[in-house]
Amino acid sequence: MGFQTLRGTTDLLPDELTRWSKVEHTVRRLARLYGYREIRTPLIEEASLFLRSVGETTDIVQKEMFRFADRGGQEIVLRPEGTASVVRAYVEHSLDKTEGFAKLFYLGAMFRAERPQAGRYRQFHQYGVEAIGSSSPWTDVEVIALCVHILRECGVTDISVWVASMGCRKDQARSAEELRQQLEPHKSTLCQECRARLERNVFRVLDCKQPDCHAIAWKNMKLFSLCDECAVHFDDVRRGLKENGIAFDDTQSFARGLDYYTGTVFEVRAKGLGAQDAVAAGGRYNHLVEELGGPAVGAVGFAAGIERVLMAAGHQGTKTPTTSRRGAYIAVTNAALIGHGFQFVQQLRQRGVCATMDYEAKSLKSQFREADKAQAQFVAILGEAEVKQRAVTLKDLEKGNQEAIPFDSFVDTLVQRTGSSSCH
């Protein structure tokens, strides 16, 4: 018996990665288009970072973190999400001083120790953006616009955007008290955990996986009552979305399952993932930077799951991009010519033409099969006759024609015919 991947983790094989690369490429291209710059933070962080930011009473921190003590006894966590790390980096490197308004994006693996189920992984992958250093409603609009733009270009077009405002800390305290009073009469129906949540952090009842708790909480959850300042901010966000043609629904209140959110929160749900399943989600977190030791600046961001984006795109019938034929395959007719062929392969590669060959002196037929598998556009045959005439036989697999090309002009000819973008 050989080894296998751990439950909840997957290998991404080359065929599958074609789709992944397209998403990653789209994220990088569009994030840069909107003025965001890439940041990469470590996969491991101090455990207390997430206790302080995501919140000690959240499911993520209490049940879903891979947490362990290293040999020195320090509590370490495999990062369960991206925002806390990005804000930690922003504070640690004083990006407020060097970047001012820091617009950052990331791509990478995240880890949650949940029980694996359909579409949930213990190692999963997210991309996200964080706009740190502004409280302007236009940053909220920009972040939501970018989120939707990326999804559409990734083929997730059948989506609904849900926006709400959780208000400032004062508004949240008021709404929490209201929800607590609403839930009090149902206390006996709630699970034991939720009875404790009622006192400590009533919004967590909304995340409970027990159907009864979930139903009661959502039935009683009203829209957050906002102070004047928060109401104006939320109005501006909605106006900005409307003016820019981004359709949204603001009729449902929701509290996101992380403690750091304030003000605008949003979720993008995609057809094909089920009612509760967001493909991307985010919001404003105006106190997090300060709480992690940085300046008192506003911030807003979102994160999206790459596995979920691909699943939604698949359900919505988006075609996997077909790779077009490119580059050349050098086929040699006997082992003595491998060295000569290899020189051509290297010369082509140096000039930016995708090139490969077989080193086992296989039959010409099986070399053609391999060329086809490698999606080569050309096969150049190098045999004794070709050496005598100092010209390769070049077959164009797309057009089906064949011609002799002198050795001296062979590389130039292929550079010309394949263009500079022969390798993607």
217 binds Zn ion, rule: CB under 5 A: no
Residue closer to Zn ion by CB (options 181, 346) is 181
Query: Which residue pairs from 186-194 have beta carbons closer than 8 angstroms and sit at least 24 positions apart in sequence?
Result: 186/216, 186/220, 189/213, 189/216, 190/216
Provide, rounded to whole angstroms, the least separation between the CB of residue 286 and Zn ion.
10
Residue of 49, 113, 95, 38 lying closest to 76 (CA atoms)? 49
Residue 167 as a binder of Zn ion (CB under 5 A): the answer is yes
Q: Report residue 132: phi and psi, to 5°.
A: -110, 125
Long-range contacts for 167-170 (Cβ within 8 Å, ≥24 apart)?
Answer: 167/224, 167/225, 167/226, 167/227, 167/230, 167/262, 167/263, 168/227, 168/229, 168/230, 168/262, 168/263, 168/286, 169/262, 169/287, 170/227
Q: Please, which residue, 5 or 192, has the CB nearer to Zn ion?
A: 192
Interface residue with Zn ion, options 147, 161, 202, 208 (CB under 5 A): 208
Stretch that binds Zn ion, among 210-218, 281-289, 339-347, 410-418 (CB under 5 A): 210-218
Q: Which of 30, 159, 194, 345 binds Zn ion (CB under 5 A)?
A: 194
Residue type, position 397, single letter: L
Contact pick of 65, 77, 168, 217 for Zn ion (by CB under 5 A): 168
CB of 191 to Zn ion, least distance (A): 3
Select from 95, 131, 213, 411 the one that contacts Zn ion (CB under 5 A).
Answer: 213
Count of beta carbons in the 10 Å neighbourhood of residue 190? 20
How near is the Cβ of 212 to Zn ion at its closest, in Å?
Answer: 7
The candidate with the shortest Cα–Cα distance to 134, out of 184, 100, 89, is 100
Which one, 213 or 306, has the nearer CB to Zn ion?
213
Binding letters toward Zn ion, positions 364-403, x by CB under 5 A: ----------------------------------------
Quote the crossing angle between the two packed helices 338-350 and 407-418, to the nearest 10°.
40
Kindly indicate which of the ranges 113-121, 166-174, 264-272, 369-377 contains the residues binding Zn ion, using the contact rule CB under 5 A: 166-174
Contact residues: Zn ion, CB under 5 A: 167-168, 171, 191, 194, 208, 210, 213, 227, 230
